[in-house]
Copies of this chain bind each other. A is one copy, B any other.
Amino acid sequence: MRKTRRACNVPDATIHRLPLYLEKLKLLQAIGVEDVSSRQLAESLDIKASQLRHDFHYFGGFSRPGRPYQVDILVPALEQIIGISQPQPTVILGAGHLGQALANYQNLELQGFPVVGIFDVNPKLIGLEIRGQPVRDMDELELLIRDKGVRIAILTVPAANAQAVTDRLVRAGIVGIFNFAPTDLKVPETVVVRNERLAVGIMSLSFRVKCIIEGGYERTDGLVAGE
């Protein structure tokens, strides 16, 4: 029987490590390193070598037993798995401060996600040039998504508009939404959303900070006294 493996069965924890592996491998590639063992690569990421091999095992066939990984094989293999063998054109919805900052963030393009369109409803922003691209009227959205084959959208509109814009993106054929609006989005099962909640991040940091400063948390229930 043909042995296959569904991509969607790979746990999130593994998926989140793939970009980190890729990043390190590209650094090695840049300095001319040709091959690397799971132990070396894992050590540089502060994880166990067995975890790295277990992660790779979901996809299989990166090396052969006894031979270390070859950087020049692993880099394109990971890029293929992540889906950036070809650049993935993206659009930014909302040309406010955050939208502009992301449009200017050249790392996105370097990592394989060139921004091919920036949209806003504010007439004062429409036409403004950001890294050589004009902020466009929403009228142009569907046409540009179709013409450029865009599948990923970055959402930086106000929370109040986020669902309406999302519905329009879904109808236009967008498959992945990187959501910076602090609100949950309803999408069909064939669309995937990744929420980037800055407030959640800084609050969990705040908890850890408090924990360091205070050294611990004392319960205040009835069990504290008399026992």
Contact = CB atoms under 8 A, between A and B. Distances in A.
Interface of A: 1-8, 12, 15-16, 18-20, 22-23, 59-61, 81-84, 88, 90, 96-98, 100-102, 104-105, 107-108, 111-113, 151-152, 154, 175-178, 182, 190-192, 194, 196-214, 216-224, 227
A223 B212 CA distance: 51
A112 B199 CA distance: 9
Contacts of A15: 204, 207-208
Contact of A178 (B82, B178, B205): B205
A98 B107 contact: no
B105 A209 contact: no
Contacts of A20: 200
A4 B216 contact: yes
A153 to B, nearest CB: 10
Contacts of A205: 152, 176-178, 192, 194
A184 to B, nearest CB: 8
28 contacts: A3-B219, A3-B223, A4-B219, A7-B207, A8-B211, A8-B216, A15-B207, A16-B204, A18-B207, A19-B197, A23-B182, A23-B199, A61-B221, A82-B207, A83-B207, A83-B209, A83-B210, A84-B206, A88-B209, A96-B101, A98-B105, A100-B101, A101-B101, A107-B199, A152-B209, A175-B213, A191-B212, A194-B202
Contact of A198 (B105, B207, B220): B105
